[in-house]
Amino acid sequence: MVNAITLGKSDISVYPIGLGTNAVGGHNIYPNMLDEEQGKDVVRKALDNGINMLDTAFIYGPERSEELIGEVIKEYKREDIVLATKGAHKFAGNDIVLDNSPAFLKKAVDDSLKRLQTDYIDLFYIHFPDKDTPKDEAVGALKELKDQGKIRSIGVSNFTIDQLKEANKDGYVDVLQAEYNLLKRDAETEFLPYTEKENITFIPYFPLESGLLAGKYDVNSTFSDLRADNPNFKGDKFKENLAKVDKLRDIADKYGEEIVHIVLAWYFTRPSVDVIIPGAKRPEQVLHNKRAAEITLSDTDVQQISDIFA
Ligand SMILES: NC(=O)c1ccc[n+]([C@@H]2O[C@H](COP(=O)([O-])OP(=O)(O)OC[C@H]3O[C@@H](n4cnc5c(N)ncnc54)[C@H](OP(=O)(O)O)[C@@H]3O)[C@@H](O)[C@H]2O)c1
């Protein structure tokens, strides 16, 4: 039996494994993933099987991920779903710029509500910091939206620790979402001591390093999407990473699980990492990932995994 967790200081209860949906309608991120019906089935598979948190953003598509999720959630009871989305990107002619100003964030929330066809968002994140807006002012705007009932909790993403501290000056931040996985562990020293102390839920993105930590690639795997530019997928570094992932096989076998489950389960041993949102491109990946919340790793294995990726 997996216990639900509470997001930050909010009263929102979530299953600890959510669904990352940047491949659902995220045609700008995964140009090969054009099948929108398959994307909607990924979301349905999650909601039909007890995963209640969906993580989307304006920029996935752009707009299309939110629109597709809006279509799917109409098939379910709204109160059974924890809907998280993000905003900060703004079109400026042909460019996309970042804006955290109170006026822009208020408009971004209203626009997301329309695309999601709902009257509240459970968790709204400032997706990326802009250069100019003081972060406590930006979060202050979200607090007003919370008081109005348009959003239920406040998140920030891709902030530095100083920006996070400024954003959380009045204690309003519930969730920090930042890149963190076994191959990129800066967050352990940079953020986790602060998020733990401040009762902020830390949600890692790219928990599987875009699939590399799922244990299914080999030296012959090739990539034509965002992974083609990621140094972890190139040359000797890619081979080194594959060798590390391969060392997890014995540990996974001991639990009768697959590497992907062991990797995801490991994150829950980190302070304040209460929810993870692995992405999925096919419905079966969703079910597969859900299992990870049921696995408890021994202290020895937790340490051994940490040592492999030190
Ligand atoms: N805040 C931000 O700036 C930010 C940035 C990036 C992502 N995110 C969020 O974080 C979520 C997670 O990131 P992500 O989806 O990009 O990367 P990820 O979770 O590290 O990797 C997901 C990929 O791993 C593979 N995979 C997933 N489950 C698997 C399984 N059971 N077995 C084998 N392979 C599996 C799939 O790719 P293949 O099938 O192609 O191998 C899937 O698309 C996103 O969906 C998004 O919601 C947020």
pLDDT tens-digit series, residues 271-302: 999 999 999 999 999 999 999 999 999 999 99
**pLDDT higher than 80, residue 1:** no
CA 216 – ligand 1 centroid, Å? 14
**pLDDT for 71:** 98
Q: How many Cβ atoms from other residues are within 10 Å of residue 234's Cβ?
A: 14
Q: Which of these, 41, 66, 42, 68, lies nearest to 55 by C-alpha position?
A: 66
Q: 209 CB contacts (<8 Å, ≥6 apart)?
A: 181, 182, 183, 184, 230, 232, 241
Among 210, 227, 266, 273, the mutation site with the greatest number of ligand 1 atoms within 8 A of its Cβ is 210
Annotated catalytic residue: which of 60, 172, 217, 267? 60
| Nearest atom, ligand 1, residue 128 CA | 3
* Residue 246 located in a structural domain: no
Residue 291 CA to residue 261 CA, distance in Å, equals 7
Largest CA distance in the chain: 55
pLDDT at 224: 85
**How many residues are recorded in the chain?**
310
**Distance (Å, whole) CA 262 – CA 209:** 14
Of 162, 122, 160, whose CA–CA distance to 142 is shortest? Answer: 122
- pLDDT range class, residue 182, cuts 50, 70, 90: very high
Distance 251 CA to ligand 1 centre (A): 22
Whole domain around residue 171: which residue ranges? 5-211+267-297
Measuring CA to CA, how many Å separate 159 from each of 107, 163, 190, 225?
Answer: 21, 6, 11, 25
Answer yes or no: is the C-beta of 283 below 6 A from any ligand 1 atom. Answer: no
Whether residue 216 lies inside any domain: the answer is no
pLDDT band of 162, cuts 50, 70, 90: very high
Q: Is the peptide bond before 204 cis (omega within 30 degrees of 0)?
A: no
**How many domains does the chain divide into?**
1
62 in a structural domain: yes
CB of 205 closer than 6 angstroms to any ligand 1 atom: yes
Secondary structure of 57-115 in HEC code, one letter for each residue:
CCCCCCCHHHHHHHHHHCCCCHHHCEEEEEECEEEECCEEEECCCHHHHHHHHHHHHHH
Q: Is the CB of 176 under 6 A from ligand 1?
A: no
Enter the tokens of residue 210.
Answer: 């875009």
pLDDT single digits (tens) 210-252: 999 999 999 999 998 889 999 999 999 999 999 999 999 999 9
pLDDT tens profile 55-83 = 999 999 999 999 999 999 999 999 999 99
Report pLDDT for 231. Answer: 95
Q: Is the CB of 29 under 6 A from ligand 1?
A: no
- pLDDT band at residue 113 under the 50/70/90 scheme: very high
**CATH number, domain at 104?**
3.20.20.100
Whether pLDDT at 20 is above 80: yes
DSSP summary character for residue 132: S
Q: CB of 17 within 8 A of CB of 276?
A: yes
By alpha-carbon position, which residue is closest to atom 33 of ligand 1? 214
- pLDDT band, very low/low/confident/very high, at 158 (cuts 50, 70, 90): very high
Model confidence at 34, in pLDDT bands (50, 70, 90)? confident
What does the alpha-carbon distance between residue 142 and residue 153 come to, in Å, rounded to a whole number?
Answer: 8
| pLDDT at residue number 46 | 98
Those residues whose C-beta lies under 8 Å from the C-beta of residue 183, and which sit 6 or more positions away, are: 209, 212, 213, 232, 241, 244, 309
**Residue 231 domain flag:** no
> Is residue 236 in a domain?
no
Residue located nearest, by CA, to atom 28 of ligand 1:
285
**211 CB within 6 A, ligand 1:** yes
Q: Is residue 219 part of a domain?
A: no
Q: Is 120 a catalytic residue?
A: no
Domain assignment of residue 179, yes or no: yes
How remote is the CA of residue 277 from the centroid of ligand 1, in Å?
8
Average pLDDT, the chain: 96
**Is 278 a pocket residue for ligand 1 (Cβ < 6 Å)?**
yes
Q: Would you say residue 149 lies in a domain?
A: yes
* pLDDT greater than 90 at residue 106: yes
Instruction: Report how far ligand 1's centroid is from the alpha carbon of 184 (Å).
Output: 15
SS3 151: strand
- Residue 225 has a pLDDT of 82
